[in-house]
Structure 1
Amino acid sequence: MDLHKLVGGLSKSGALSGFLGGVAGGGLTSMVAGKKTKKMGKSALKVGALAAVGGIAWKAYQQYSSKQGSVQAANLHQTRPQSNPQNNRVQFDFTPAQLPERAFNEVIEDTNTSGQILVMRAMIAAAYADGHIDDNERARIFAQVEMLDLSVEEKAMLFDELRKPLSLSELVAQVPNSQTGIEVYAASASAIDMHAVESQRYLNQLSQQLCIPSELTSDIHMQLANANM
């Protein structure tokens, strides 16, 4: 994933407008480009890497909601398998216009390190979809992890996963709610070559295990394509 290009495209498209309290808005691209101080640039890259994913997820969900409408809402209550001692299932609800922007913000905000780590884990697992992580992919992931405000132990854990990423089922088992599921899918799609057969197969399996409607995944792909134009 070309972070600079993705963040710049999202800023121009409006996907980041207002996201994370405006930090990821119009001034983000210039900060990422190095026109501010080194400290400010590092902060912008950290926010940009995560806000880009959050912005895509939120914009796609808005687009999906506007197209689906309330008529189909009753048919869009989704479930996915997860270990549960009572019924072995947990419900994810992708009903249009029910998830607020605040919920998407909270997944990747600075106080939610578990959400940040999960998004990075999703990128790492997706990059490994073709059976290996090449040097360029590894370097980009290293750079993004270094920008996060994580402990040494947390960063080391992510670096270790470059050698042995989470399996698809392990990744899905860590997703706690609908908005995180959408961001995990967006992060995976942003870190992968969507033209490759292995990548398409991986994303298809991920969306099925998260029970994300196909219309919503299509909107995520569209937002990614628009951001990378």
Structure 2
Amino acid sequence: MKDLQKLVGNLSKSGALSGFLGGVAGGGLTSLVGGKSSKKTGKKAIKYGALAAVGGLAWKAYKQYSEQHKATQQPTPKHTNRFDFTPATMPEQCFSQVVEDESGSGQLILMRAMIAAAYADGHIDETERQKIFAQVESMTLSMQEKAMLFDELRKPMTLSELVQAVPNAQTGIEVYTASASAIDLQQPISQQYLDALADQLCLPSELVSSIHLQLAAQ
């Protein structure tokens, strides 16, 4: 599993999160990584943590995908799938709302996605486990929800269960991004997991490529 806090720092430095979550990601998350706090954004930074970085990266990938689609003047695909990933139809706000959802459901599914992805190779080592513990503790979830996530460290969601829990297109993009950010792509079984996830979410291959390009740039 990758270091999510390092991902936050890299995204903040690159400007990928500029303006995302009302400025939280641009300044607040940098403060979070450095162990400092900001009066205006400190609470939100702690609340959303690395999940805001995932959302910002997912938005940037979708925006790039939309721009490429427009540049190549490809015909708008007909959608018979569960979700509609038509380029340039989802605003940035859709992506920020996934983690800003007061119910915590968006944060919950992204963490569940990360845990499931980290288990793609069949185990989570102690270092990975501690990173997950730290991220869960920073989230605005009830004690029951946090306990459920800790339980999932022993028995994570199956791929089909994860996909069925995805409520909309923007969350689907963030679920894939979260999974790809948490997984070891050097292992064939990990790549197989991501391929299966993209297939079951019916993500366009161009959008999947854009997500990986954004991750590789961090």
User: Same fold, TM exceeding 0.5?
Assistant: yes
Inter-CA distance 31–158: structure 2 relative to 1 (3 Å threshold)? closer
Preserved contact between residue 45 and residue 147 of structure 1 (Cα < 8 Å): yes
How far is the alpha carbon of 1:138 from its aligned partner? 0.9
- Alignment check: 8 A CA contact 2:69 2:87 kept: yes
Q: Are residues 1:95 and 2:86 paired? A: yes
CA distance in 2, matches of 1:164, 1:31: 30
Residue 6 of structure 2 aligns to which amino acid in structure 1?
Answer: K
- Specify the alignment match of 1:152 in structure 2: 143
Q: Find the counterpart in structure 2 of residue 166 from structure 1.
A: 157
- Return the offset for 1:75: 1.7
Aligned AA for 1:36? S
TM-score, normalised via structure 1 length: 0.88
Against the structure 1 CA distance between its residues 224 and 78, is the aligned structure 2 distance closer, same or farther, given a 3 Å change threshold?
A: farther
Give the drift of 1:210: 0.2
Given the alignment of the two structures, is residue 3 of structure 1 paired with residue 28 of structure 2, yes or no? no
**In structure 2, what is the Cα distance between the partners aligned to 1:135 and 1:41?**
29
Query: How many angstroms does 1:179 deviate by?
Result: 0.3
Give 1:25-36 correspondences, 5 Å limit: 25-36=26-37
Return the offset for 1:168: 0.1
* CA shift for structure 1 position 122: 0.2
Aligned pair in 2 of structure 1 residues 32, 46: CA closer, same or farther (>3 Å)? farther
Q: Which residue of 2 aligns with 1:77?
A: 79
State yes or no: 1:105 paired with 2:96: yes
Q: Cα deviation per residue 1:71-92 (whole Å; 9 max; x = unaligned)?
A: 334226351xxxxxxxxxxx31
Q: Which amino acid aligns with 1:169?
A: S
Rounded to whole Å, the distance in 2 between the matches of 1:121 and 1:178 is: 17
Structure 2 gap ranges (5+)? none
Aligned equivalents of 1:74, 1:110: Cα separation in 2 = 30
State how 1:97-136 maps to structure 2 within 5 Å. 97-136=88-127
| CA–CA distance in structure 2, aligned partners of residues 33 and 161 of structure 1 | 29
Query: Could you tell me how far 1:42 is from its partner in structure 2?
Result: 7.0
Q: Which residue of 1 aligns with 2:20?
A: 19
What number of residue pairs does the alignment pair up? 215
2:49 and 2:135 in contact (8 A); partners too? no
The equivalent residue for 1:219 is 210
Q: Comparing both structures, which one devotes a greater share of its residues to helix?
A: 2
Indicate the larger mover: 20-29 or 158-167. 20-29
Q: Which residue of 2 aligns with 1:65?
A: 66
Cα deviation, residue 15, structure 1: 1.4
Instruction: Detail structure 1 runs of 4+ shifted over 3 Å in the superposition.
Output: 40-43
Structure 2: distance between partners of 1:50 and 1:100: 18
- Shift of residue 118, structure 1, vs aligned partner: 0.3
Q: SS of 2:83's equivalent? A: strand
**Match status 1:53 vs 2:44:** no
Bigger proportion of residues as strand: 1
Q: Judge conservation of contact 1:42–1:147 (CA < 8 Å) in 2.
A: no
Helix, strand or coil at the partner of 1:16: coil
After TM superposition, the score normalised by the length of structure 2 is 0.92
Deviates more, 1:45-54 or 1:204-213: 45-54
Indicate the RMSD between aligned Cα atoms, in angstroms. Answer: 1.9
